Amino acid sequence: MLEFLHEERNSSLSMKNIISTYLVSLKKYADFMGRATRTEYWTFTIANWAIILLLLVPYALLGEDSVFAILCGAVDGIFIFGTAIPNLAAAIRRLHDTGKSGWWFLIQFVPYIGTLVLIYFLVGRTKVEPVPTPPAASVPPVV
């Protein structure tokens, strides 16, 4: 039942591999074509959440009156804004890897169940089918 947890056994979780996987995803910040493996997507997503939460800790502990807490809150907002497109691109590439269209990302806007369905798709197994590519523009031959 939980075979998906053991699918990518060859990938080790050393800090060097986590950072390199994160940087690979960040370098593909606007690449909406292609695929993202389960490891690539979840490493990128969990690392982003960890950074966001770490930046919120001073804000939560020190309150709104501390200059350091306000600075951490501002950096957190900039980080969230700066990684919005890379997060979207990684999710769409992950959907491609599971054999789904990137448009399935929009299902999260369906109330109550949409986010659960999207998570189910993102956790899914890799499909070996080729990724559909947009058709090339047909140019009539020059006579």
Q: Tell me the pLDDT of the chain (143 aa) as tens digits.
A: 344 444 455 556 688 888 888 888 888 888 888 888 888 999 999 999 999 999 888 878 887 778 888 888 889 999 999 999 999 999 999 999 998 989 999 999 999 899 999 999 999 888 876 655 666 656 666 76
Contacts of residue 21, Cβ cutoff 8 Å, sequence gap at least 6: 39, 40, 43, 44
* Integer Cα distance of 114 and 69 in angstroms: 34
In a domain, 136, yes or no: no
In a domain, 117, yes or no: yes
| pLDDT, position 136 | 61
Q: What is the pTM of this model?
A: 0.75
Report the sign of the C-alpha dihedral through residues 2, 94, 29, 110, in that order: negative
| pLDDT, position 133 | 61
In a domain, 91, yes or no: yes
| pLDDT, position 47 | 93
Domain containing 45: what range? 15-123
| pLDDT, position 6 | 46
In a domain, 55, yes or no: yes
In a domain, 139, yes or no: no
In a domain, 7, yes or no: no
Q: How many CB atoms lie within 10 A of CB 46?
A: 12
| pLDDT, position 111 | 92
Q: How far is CA 103 from the centre of its chain?
A: 15
Report the sign of the C-alpha dihedral through residues 53, 57, 63, 66, in that order: negative
| pLDDT, position 51 | 93
Q: Which residue has the tokens 């770490």?
A: 54
What's the structural domain count of the chain? 1
Start-end of H helices in 1-143: 15-27, 38-62, 67-82, 84-97, 114-123
